[in-house]
Structures are given as C-alpha cells and as structure tokens.
C-alpha cells in the first residue's frame, strides 16, 4: 500500500497495490501490522457501510466523547470525502482535506480521531464502507454546518441544493461547535 500525504499531515490517502488479470483483481485493504508500522496504531471496533444517491451530502459528523478514527473507502460509485480538524490545540484546527474516492481509484482516506467527517455523492449512487476506532455514540455526536464560510470547503456540487438529512441541515458553525482539546 502506498501512503499519499495530504495538506493535513495526520489525514492520509492510502492507495492499495492492486493485483489484476483477465479474471478481475485482488487488493489488501487492511493489515494491522502495516498500519502500526506506518504510525496508525489503533484498534478498529466497528465497520459501517452506507448507500447514498447522487447529490447526497452526509456530514460533517464527529463525536466529542468516544472520538472515532475512520478508514474510509468506496465499494461502488464515486464521492468527495472530507475531513475537518476539530482539535482546538492543533495548528490545523478548522482546516479541511477533501479527496475523490471511488470504486475505480480504490483509494482509502484515513480520518484520525478528532476530525469531523462528511462526503458528497458524485455518481448515480455510491456505497461507502469504513472501519471505526470507537463505537457510534449518538448522544455524543455533533454536526458541523457543511457550508460554513469559515471552513470554506470547496464541495464539487452538481447543483445548488445537496440532499441533506434534518440533522445535517441543522449543523453548527465552526465558531459555535464544541471541539476537542487533547492537551487537558
């Protein structure tokens, strides 16, 4: 697997080695020892998968308690995946990374604990699969406003109105949102 650094050093784009022939392909998407050797020494406890229609925007979600690191990949389709640094003591607090993930490019995004996560579906549908380092805990979940001007996320919107859930429509601005402080 190849590591591609992003503009935030803790968020990594991972490109698997794909072994293919006329029958199809094989790739390894996770190996605990490789991740440990490359500085991601966390235990994954939950796997999630979602299917979303074109134009759907999910996020930006994070859990203040039980923060989740996420290893994200697309099983079918294509989407724009985003991580926002919510660690108040970080030099990159409030900054974001966005990457195109697709079944075709087979890339994965490592979103560490302390980041909000969201995505926007570019293809007709997209299936997203991700491993989490902690359990989903709705009572500790928060949502950032996807279009907060302070974040300035450059979403590749197909139209002016993404499909949003009620929770995502009611997201908080960065200035209002609770954040992580790992130094305490």
- Please, what sign has the CA dihedral across residues 57, 58, 61, 67? negative
Q: For residues 102 and 52, what is the distance between their CA atoms, to the nearest angstrom?
A: 13
3-state secondary structure labels for all residues of 24-90: EEEECCCCHHHHHHCCCCCCCCEEEEEEEECCEEEEEEEECCCCCCEEEEEEECEEEEEEEECECCC
Short-list 26, 8, 9, CA closest to 17: 26
Q: For residues 15 and 25, what is the distance between their CA atoms, to the nearest angstrom?
A: 14
Q: For residues 16 and 119, what is the distance between their CA atoms, to the nearest angstrom?
A: 21
Question: Are 151 and 94 contacting, i.e. CB atoms less than 8 angstroms apart?
Answer: yes
Q: Which residues are catalytic?
A: 61, 130
Q: For residues 132 and 115, what is the distance between their CA atoms, to the nearest angstrom?
A: 12
């Amino acid at each position: 697997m190849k590591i591609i650094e992003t503009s935030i050093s803790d968020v990594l784009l991972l490109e698997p080695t794909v072994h293919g022939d006329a029958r199809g392909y094989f790739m390894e998407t996770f190996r605990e020892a490789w991740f440990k050797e490359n500085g991601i020494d966390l235990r994954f406890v939950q796997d999630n998968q979602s299917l979303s229609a074109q134009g759907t925007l999910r996020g930006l979600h994070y859990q203040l308690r039980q923060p989740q690191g996420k290893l994200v990949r697309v099983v079918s389709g294509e989407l724009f995946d985003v991580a926002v640094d919510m660690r108040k003591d970080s030099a990159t607090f409030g900054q974001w990374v966005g990457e195109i993930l697709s079944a075709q490019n087979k890339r994965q995004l490592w979103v560490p604990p302390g980041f909000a996560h969201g995505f926007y579906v570019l293809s007709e549908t997209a299936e997203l699969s991700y491993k989490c380092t902690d359990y989903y805990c709705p009572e500790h979940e928060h949502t950032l406003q996807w279009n907060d001007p302070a974040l300035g996320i450059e979403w590749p919107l197909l139209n002016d109105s993404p499909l949003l859930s009620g929770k995502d429509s009611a997201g908080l601005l960065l200035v209002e949102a609770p954040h992580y402080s790992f130094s305490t």
